[in-house]
Amino acid sequence: MESTAHAFKANVDHALADPNLQDSLAKLKVGFSERRRQAAERLPEFEALRDRARDIKNHTLAHLDFYLEEFERKVIALGGHVHWAPTAADARRIIAELCQSVNARTVAKSKSMVAEEIALNDHLEALGIAPIETDLGEYIIQLRHEPPSHIIAPAVHLTKDQVADTFLEHHAKLGFDKRLTERNDLVAEARHVLRQKFLDADVGLTGANFLVAETGSSMLVTNEGNADLSNTLPRMHIVLASIEKVIPTLEDAAVLLRVLARSATGQESSAYTTLNTGPKRPGDLDGPDQYHVVLLDNGRSSVLGTEMQDILRCIRCGACMNHCPVYGAVGGHAYGWVYPGPMGAVLTPQLVGVEEASNLPNASTFCGRCESVCPVRIPLPKLMRHWREREFEKHLTPKAVRQGLALWSFAARRPALYRRLTGIANRVLALFGRADGRYGALPLASGWTRFRDFPAPQAGGTFHARWAKRKA
């Protein structure tokens, strides 16, 4: 998808003024974090599992080439195919060629953030191949021509009423001409509409939560079972996954699954956990004739061995955004691209360029709540700070900020000068603020005083001035 990360500030204004979005976010903020907290509390070894999950991913990243090749060998031995896609364009081309090789008219898609990353739907549509999103949230936003606003809850920005209107608009022509108001009725209607599309699809395309090197399996978790229909009914199953999804063993997958659902939704386990291990074998009742895995790099290998490597541990649970007060205020669309929230603020500059996404790693208070809930302990604030350092080195930091910082640092490195300046500032601010105790407006501080009063300093001089007097 086209990035609007450069327009972050305008996106923010838009988000803050959207009452439907603000309603939805108010629910999300309480729901996800409370459920995760309870799930973590119910599992005494949860913190130890987070350590193990981190270690598994670190080990894999340290030997990524080995495990990817191992995975490829296993898939080939099973009768499947592995396609290496260095860039998004390569992945689009490979998938389009595979679809065309079976004259596909429709592709049933299970939710895949990597497919969003490579803007696969637009590409397939341009070639006359219809992608059908089968995850309920993805289906809703596909009807509305919107990008996902959350990596596990793509339509979380919408209210139930908005979904009802969208369904009425698009399903009336299919005979569903009654506006529904109950959540279960909406789900039932979507299920009905989607069922025929599964049966019609020529190709099933899924993402992968994990690729298991020892067995050549791709592993998927969903709560709707849509992935299972996407990968068993059509003749061809294409798995699209980025290279850091590989892990060594099923044993490792078991550890990661135990932290994934708990961190994401507070479930002990997702409703469906599916392993796809090659195409249909002789004697199998169902399954695809062809099984393809497209492995996308798209800049990830260049992160290996750098100070940003920790972001490749991410297992896409969404806990960081569920707990992020900035995401909670503005939602996912404000981030302007595929991956929102703290993990997006680290990953997006890598994938679309720091010039385009320079705001994202800056739009954080470094409150650290994301790191405190990350199931693989990614130090997200630290990585965002590294991006700020790179921006500073590249002179991308706004000029006013740089100049202000330069003045301040000149003084902060000269304690005697600093004392004189703070003495003056204290006296002036205290004098004029004395009557009210605070300022409603202050020159050069409109960013503060537009929304808040600015407290005046206590009279009587700075701490250091008063301390010196006390000692004298």
Partner 1 sequence: MPSTRPRRVALFVTCLVDLFRPSVGFAAVKLLEEAGCTVEVPSVQTCCGQPAYNTGDRATTRAIAAQVIDAFEGYDAVVAPSGSCGGMLSHHYPGLFDDDPALKARAENLASRSHELISFLVDVLGVRNVSARYDGSVTYHDSCSGLRELGVKAQPRNLLGSVQGLELREMKTPEVCCGFGGTFCVKYPEISNAMVGEKSADIAATGADTLLAGDLGCLMNMAGKLQREGSAVRVRHVAEVLADMGDLPAIGEPERG
Q: Is residue 427 a contact residue for partner 1 (CB under 8 A)? A: no
Site for partner 1 contains 455 (CB under 8 A): yes
Structure-token match 């913190």, residue found: 47
**385: nearest Cα among 455, 311, 446:** 311
CA neighbor of 347 nearest in space, from 377, 303, 391: 303
Positions 281 through 340 that interact with partner 1 (CB under 8 A)? 325-326, 329-330
Segment lying near partner 1 (by CB under 8 A), choices 107-115, 163-171, 227-235, 460-468:
460-468
Q: Tokens for 163? A: 């979904």
The one-letter amino acid code at 222 reads T
Range in contact with partner 1 (rule: CB under 8 A) among 100-108, 165-173, 314-322, 455-463? 455-463
Per CB under 8 A, the list member of 38, 101, 196, 365 interacting with partner 1 is: 365
Q: Is 96 in the site for partner 1 (CB under 8 A)?
A: no
Binding test (CB under 8 A) with partner 1, winner from 3, 223, 249, 397 = 397
Q: In sequence order, which residues have a C-beta less than 8 Å from that of residue 50 and are 6 or more positions away?
A: 259, 374, 375, 376, 377
- 403 contacts partner 1 (rule: CB under 8 A): no
Question: Is 426 among the residues that bind partner 1 (CB under 8 A)?
Answer: yes
Out of 362, 375, 380, 383, the only residue in the binding site for partner 1 (CB under 8 A) is 362
Q: Calculate the CA dihedral of residues 129, 130, 135, 141 and round it to 10 degrees.
A: 120
Asked if residue 275 binds partner 1 (CB under 8 A), the reply is no
Nearer residue to partner 1 within complex by CB, 10 or 275: 10
User: Counting contacts by CB under 8 A, is residue 50 touching partner 1?
Assistant: no
Piece in contact with partner 1 (CB under 8 A), picked from 136-144, 145-153, 181-189, 432-440: 432-440
| Pick 51 or 97: Cβ nearer partner 1 | 51
Nearer to partner 1, 31 or 461 (CB): 461
Q: Is 466 a residue that touches partner 1 (CB under 8 A)? A: yes
Beta carbon of residue 53, minimum distance to partner 1 (angstroms, whole number): 20
- 87, 181, 372, 403: residue in contact with partner 1 (rule CB under 8 A): 372
Positive or negative: CA dihedral 350, 112, 240, 318:
positive
Report in angstroms how near the CB of residue 385 gets to partner 1 at its nearest: 7
Separation CA 331–CA 341 (nearest Å) = 8
Q: Does 454 bind partner 1 (CB under 8 A)?
A: yes
171 with 155: CB under 8 angstroms? no
According to CB under 8 A, which one of 306, 366, 407, 428 is a site residue for partner 1? 366
Of 209, 260, 220, give the one whose Cα is nearest residue 40: 260
Select from 127, 199, 412, 428 the one that contacts partner 1 (CB under 8 A): 412
CB count within 10 Å of CB 360 equals 29
Partner residues linked to 167 by β-bridges: none
Q: Which is nearer to partner 1, 145 or 450 (CB)?
A: 450
CB nearer to partner 1: give 275 or 424: 424
Q: CB 368 → partner 1: shortest distance, Å? A: 4
The stretch among 80-88, 162-170, 288-296, 439-447 that binds partner 1 (CB under 8 A) is 439-447
Could you tell me which stretch among 51-59, 124-132, 152-160, 421-429 binds partner 1 (CB under 8 A)? 421-429
- Choices 158-166, 177-185, 212-220, 402-410 (CB under 8 A): range interacting with partner 1: 402-410
Output 127 or 431, the one with its CB closest to partner 1. 431
> Cα–Cα distance between 413 and 405 in angstroms, integer?
12
- Distance, CA of 160 to CA of 224 (rounded, Å): 18
Nearer to partner 1, 69 or 389 (CB): 389
Name the nearest CA neighbour of 43 among 316, 271, 322, 257: 257
**Binding positions for partner 1, rule: CB under 8 A:** 9, 12-13, 16, 325-326, 329-330, 362-369, 371-372, 385, 387-393, 397, 401, 405, 408-409, 411-413, 415, 418, 422, 425-426, 434-438, 440, 445, 447-448, 450-464, 466-468
